[in-house]
Amino acid sequence: MILFLFLSHLAVGIVLTLVFVSREAGVKFFRFNAGLAAVLLAVAFALRPPEAAAADPGRVAVLALVVFEAATLLYWATVGRALAAIRPAIVGLSVAAGLVALVAQAIGQASGAAAATMVVASFLSSAALLGGACTAMILGHWYLVIPSLQVSHLQSIVKIHIASMVVRVVVVVAAVYVAIVSWQPGMGPSFRGYILSVSGIFFWQRVLFGLLGPALLSYLTWETAKIRSTQSATGILYVDFFTVVVGEVLAKYLLLATRVPL
């Protein structure tokens, strides 16, 4: 379930972020990213556990992901070749299906109606952060493919990545606060006790690698992008994407282990 959630969020996040990339990045850039998203989701389906579609929200999520996969594959097959008039509709369908899937997954993983809002916010911000980090990294590498590409495009996607990073931090802080203040005696182990115990090392790793690390690295990327050092920015983005991946995998584990949407 951890890998299924992580890979599907990464796939959806990539397509969501592509909407904000300029066409000047070239047909091959969009084709590569759409193909990557489709492959990631195919792997997610291969790893999908039976319980992922055991309830109504799970079945809705799986159906939405099937639509997302079909639309993404159609976009990959036609970008730069045909169907130019309806391509925005194809992308729109893919984005809409991806969002529906994330919301349905969140409802299925929430421990109650009150917690559903926090899980939805967690899943949406997770997909945005993963997609922003991955797309920014690939776009930075693309300056080796198209050296004449304006550096402003990298600066724009880094801004989006930083914005998604800020939103993700806010969501995690809110989730931790709600988990701590809503605990009452008789409800089982408290989340405060969990993060202060030996098992809490996973929480602190999530904070260090998934929040503080990307926050610092995204700022460094922005500073290097401002001085038009695209190769340095790309190198930092590789490390940034790795820390985001580690953090979001841990976040999925902590959700399943503690029911707190980190």
Q: Note the pLDDT tens digit of each residue in 118-171.
A: 999 999 999 999 999 999 999 999 998 888 889 999 999 999 999 999 999 999
pTM of the model: 0.94
Q: CA dist 231 to 81, 151, 189, 210, Å?
A: 31, 11, 48, 23
Share of the chain above pLDDT 70, in %: 96
The reported pLDDT for the residue numbered 116 is 87
The reported pLDDT for the residue numbered 103 is 95
Can you tell me the distance from the alpha carbon of 173 to that of 179, in angstroms, rounded to the nearest whole number? 10
What would the mean pLDDT of 98-120 be, rounded to a whole number? 87
Q: Note the pLDDT tens digit of each residue in 158-195.
A: 999 999 999 999 999 999 999 888 877 656 678 888 88
Does the pLDDT at position 112 exceed 80?
no
The reported pLDDT for the residue numbered 80 is 73
CA dihedral of residues 47, 105, 75, 130 (deg, nearest 10) = -80
pLDDT-based confidence at 81, cuts 50/70/90? confident
Q: Note the pLDDT tens digit of each residue in 226-255.
A: 888 888 999 999 999 999 999 999 999 999
Chain mean pLDDT for the chain: 91
Can you tell me the distance from the alpha carbon of 151 to that of 157, in angstroms, rounded to the nearest whole number? 10
Domain residue ranges of the chain, discontinuous segments joined by +: 2-258
The reported pLDDT for the residue numbered 248 is 97
Q: Which residues of 64-98 are buried (b: 16+ CB within 10 A; e: fewer)?
A: bbebbbebbbbbbebbeeeeeeebeebbebbbebb
The reported pLDDT for the residue numbered 6 is 97
The reported pLDDT for the residue numbered 56 is 80
Contact between 79 and 27 under an 8 Å Cβ cutoff? The reply is yes
The reported pLDDT for the residue numbered 185 is 67
Sign of the alpha-carbon torsion through 33, 39, 42, 44: negative
Burial of 159 by CB count in 10 Å (0-12 exposed, 13-18 middle, 19+ buried)? middle
